[in-house]
A = this chain, B = another copy of it.
């Protein structure tokens, strides 16, 4: 009878290698694993690998249990490799760990999920695959049973749910997914995120996240060095996104100028105003609304605000739509003169600091009091990964600490400076550091630089390709500073319309229709929007490391294919 597990291979002759230094046979591996791991895990892993392989042969969704193959493993005696197949249609989550003898079932189940994920990953990078299998919300609600029930579902049903979820998900790793500032999927980053989920801990103290707290320390220091602060000194935190990072900065600026605001609130301080550029991110206004400053006190242009005290300037390094950089040196001169906190919102553009070719666009950033920098955008770190870097040490702690004694006991046996939780606005804080750290290790700084430079090259290629091409108009003059290329596509039918207003009215409808068609065909995704008096235009951004020159060519061909009849 043919045996069906890898580890049972070569039953007899596998033993020949036993005892060699690099166990290259199943039996040797099993023995090494059994010796190395405590609690019989080696044997259990060994048993799993038999079972898992048998299970893989079962067709997904097939209700009948896979063929059960009896046999012996051929590895050491403590390994109970009966290779009983695991049929998920009879199993429930209560059969998994911590259930007694749940090891094998757990590993087989997780391996099955991983197989689904691996197939999805490979498919996502394949240009023949759709970026999206689009359905309208009411349709999608009908396409699967998404409702929550009182009774448990089988693990088989759980695997089906996983497949269904991925079937209708956006393939954000797809080389032709350009819809957001965060695109692409980094394999080392993904591995790190899987590990982070598995470690399932919280950033609040060294006690519960020793390695991650250290890695945050190491990484924030490195980022501050790149900003240009002496010896990388200062402070910082990874927060749940650029909007929260920007809000942290505003909070710190207010506290720095008026520390009494923490206890006494806004009634203890004069009317404050914050300044920012017209195209800054909406999070500056959201932050002002939340902090009790009010959106009207966020000044986008020079206005007379007598009696108001300017406390915060947010300069944007890489605006969301145009990718424009504010002149940081000039702004810092003003901030210095009037003693105003200078924040640089580099959520999108901050990563250019890693490029020797492009970092001049942020000249002056080292004069900032705080910098937002989102590695989950231009550096393609899996979501979420946003850092706020702060020049002054200790301020975050003073501003945000509440001394919760159930977390931050002062009589712990280790160096308490590593209990960084009280400087956060949050209590628990997700571990966002490991994926950035591991990717940085894998690429080196020069690897990130190459990745960023390549995206800028692609955007220059796109700009050069369409700037004089028939049927295209650029939204702003000159070469883009970042990878944002903003343009209108004019279908032949409206290209020569005489009536300017009529033309504009038509043009406004072009991008939404082309975008809707892109999504229905599933071939690519790119963003569009109006801005001020400008009608809907495409905002192409490139942060996807999988994109190539051919994908840029494809995008243009696709826009023309889908828009020519409009």
Contact = CB atoms under 8 A, between A and B. Distances in A.
Interface stretch (A293-301, A324-332, A462-470): A293-301
Contacts of A117: 194-195, 198
Contacts of A552: none
A443 B152 CA distance: 4
A412 B512 contact: yes
Nearest to A62: B22
A471 to B, nearest CB: 21
Nearest to A286: B402
Contacts of A290: 247, 251, 290-291, 425
A536 B409 CA distance: 9
B6 A93 contact: no
Contact of A210 (B170, B412, B536, B545): B170
A444 interface: yes
Contacts of A210: 134-135, 137, 140, 168-170
Nearest to A138: B415
Nearest to A244: B426
A80 interface: no
A87 to B, nearest CB: 11
Contacts of A531: 405-406
Interface string A294-317: 111100000000000000000000
A480 interface: no
Nearest to A147: B218
A264 B545 CA distance: 43
A141, A292, A516, most chain B CB atoms within 10 A: A292
A165 to B, nearest CB: 5
B222 A198 contact: no
Contacts of A199: 165-166, 169-170, 172
Nearest to A289: B262
Given A98-B125, A264-B294, A427 B170 contact: no
A260 to B, nearest CB: 8
Contact of A162 (B62, B191, B288): B191
A386 to B, nearest CB: 8
A96 to B, nearest CB: 4
B97 A428 contact: no
B93 A443 contact: yes
A338 interface: no
Of residues A93, A113, A430, which shows the largest number of chain B Cβ atoms within 10 Å of its Cβ? A93
A64 B139 CA distance: 54
A32 interface: yes
B3 A9 contact: yes
Q: Top 4 A-B pairs ranked by shortest CB distance?
A: A292-B292, A265-B294, A266-B266, A98-B546
28 contacts: A2-B14, A24-B67, A39-B126, A39-B127, A45-B115, A45-B118, A49-B56, A97-B122, A98-B546, A102-B125, A107-B122, A117-B198, A137-B213, A140-B210, A140-B214, A172-B208, A180-B208, A190-B197, A243-B426, A244-B426, A264-B296, A266-B267, A282-B404, A292-B292, A295-B402, A406-B531, A412-B516, A413-B516
